[in-house]
Amino acid sequence: MEKEPIVGIDLGTTNSEVAFIFDGQPQVIKENDDGIVPSCVGLDPEGKIIVGRQAHNQYIVYPERTVISIKRKMGSDERVPMGKEFYSPQEISAFILKALKERTERVLNRPVRRAVITVPAYFTDAQRQATREAGEIAGLEVVRIINEPTAAALAYGGHTAGHQKILVYDLGGGTFDVSVVSIEAGVVEVMASTGDNHLGGDDFDKMIQEHLNEHLEGVLGLSSVRENRTLQARLRRAAEQAKIELSDRPYARVEEDHIGEVNGRSRHMSMELSRVDFEQDIEEAMAQTLKAVTTALNDAAVRPSELDKVLLVGGSTRIPRIRQLLWERLGQEPHGEVDPELCVTLGAAVQAGIEMGIEVESVLVDITPYTFGTSAVGELYGRPYTNQFVPLIRRNTKLPVTKTEMFYTLYEDQESVAVDVYQGEDQDALKNVKVGNFLFRGLNQKAGARDQGILLTYGLDLDGILKIHAVERATGKEIRGVIENATGRSTPEELDASRDRVAALWGDDDASQDRLRQDTAAGEKLPEEMRRTLEQAEKALDTAATEDREEIINLMEDIRDSLRAGDLRKAEESKQELDEILFYLG
């Protein structure tokens, strides 16, 4: 007899989702969409209930007949207006749950009567009971109410894990909370939780929207823009899209045609936003979240070094600055490979599967096992360094992925740049694995053009193919390159072990070549001629012209890379080129 289905539901402040176990794997229920349903309920012009995207689209234009963020009122006696009637928070939430229930029934082609629903860890008993009542009103038996950080841990395999301590950083559209959870023998316990239920991505959207309003008033000369509901609806959507783009690119351009009229003439908006400015806008809010992280750790009596994992939950955690701040504060790379917006839902489905008595596997995602980046002039351990590793795609990132960063040339009129592609985790690019290099020639780096910089894009697909795209912003000149099987390369440690094993079994002079490679990597026993050339090159850097200095540095790197790899022939070729430059310089 087929078991009665139990679904997992994330009833969120901004968005909600439902998931089910298919063949042992939790999957979000989708209907020609991404499965994300805005937690928005409204009345259409005919007075019929609408839920999700349709209701969300009419909110700014018809706020009097639309309700958002009802989760913040759960557990209270407040009744909210929608049209001519007033509704309890449970009733509004029930409309959302009913929409998710019917969505699942259409996909499964069978009735759905039972659900596991998630709530924030800080929810009171009254708020949890209100959530349960909302489920009952929607025709669902709520078999379990589980905490959102618990669900996130389950999505990452918490039901099968040994003893672990995990920090869950959850920044959604309307709320923020951070929790420390303990997992032992498959039991997940929330040790501490804190946060702010009025901080989230919506606040960041409003900051961008305000910049757009200022542009319309100050640059385009439009008036009364803030009183125009339809215009504000357009700007809000544009602001949200720009925020999303800034997670993957250093710049986002907002283009809105026929945005208004001045003296009978139509005005069009074309405005560029930068990630740097956006991060400055949200810096104070980010500092508040880090204080909450410290509070949660102190309340749980857990040191950062004792954490086994840091999990990112909520769509706003895609903002690169958040990952960077957490890495600096906690000393480890946060995990975000399970879709942050769907993570809690998938965990709820895992719990639903457990309630059904079926064996549930961890969420499967395709990720990159390595970080991919390039080298640039920067700092290493507080000192200037010519080969700082700049990550573009970080390890454990879900595939496929595309990331873009901005770079600038070293000097005016520079005609070319070398784009070296590295795989690894070290801050020193030369200690990572070089998987490719491209030369971008024919640049036009005059003073104004140089300020606009060069956009470098890495795109990594499911087949491990890494595509490189560089664009000079001032001219549009570009280069493209492809690196096959980028994720399939052996690590340096694996290569070392293989060389040693082959040399030992082969039993000839390859072992001496291997020792030379190891000695060179340690900076010892360089061949005398190589050492002399490199020492002369180091001295020449102080007086060489900028273009010669760059070429000298590249050849020095080539020599060292070749020696590390045991390729004496290639090292000798690079040495000869370097000798010619040094001879020319006298």
Q: Exactly one of 10, 202, 341, 420 is catalytic; name it.
A: 10
What six digits make up the tokens of 380? Answer: 């290493």
Q: What is the DSSP string of 211-273?
A: HHHHHHHHTS---SGGG-HHHHHHHHHHHHHHHHHHTTSSEEEEEEEEEEEETTEEEEEEEEE
Hey, what are 321's tokens? Answer: 């600055």
Active site residue 519: no
Q: Say how many residues make up the chain.
A: 586
Determine which one of 133, 148, 339, 420 is catalytic: 148
- Catalytic residue from among 17, 170, 337, 341: 170
Q: How far is CA 444 from CA 251, 295, 302, 447, 471, in A?
A: 21, 51, 54, 9, 12
**Of the candidates 470, 415, 418, 417, the residue with the CA atom closest to the CA atom of residue 446:** 415
Annotation says 243 is catalytic: no
What tokens were used for 238?
A: 């544009």
Task: Write out the two tokens for 532.
Answer: 């002399």
Active site residue 306: no
Closest CA to 560 of 536, 528, 534: 534
- Tokens standing for residue 68: 């958002």
Omega prior to 400 cis, within 30 of 0: yes
- Give ∠ CA 363-51-348 in degrees, rounded to 5: 20
Distance set, CA 74 to CA 18, 91, 130, 134 (Å): 20, 10, 6, 10
Measured in degrees and rounded to the nearest 5, phi and psi for residue 480 equal: -135, 150
Query: Which residue of the set 71, 403, 434, 575 is catalytic?
Result: 71
Q: Under a CB-based contact definition with an 8 Å cutoff, are residues 367 and 399 in contact?
A: yes
Comparing CA positions, the residue from 211, 208, 289 lying closest to residue 244 is: 208
355 is catalytic: no
| Both structure tokens of 244 | 């999303």
* Burial of residue 436 (number of CB atoms within 10 Å: 0-12, 13-18, 19+): middle
Q: Identify the helix (H) or strand (E) that includes residue 530.
A: helix 528-540
Amino acid at 86: F
8 A C-beta contact, residue 392 and residue 403 = yes
Residues noted as catalytic: 10, 71, 148, 170
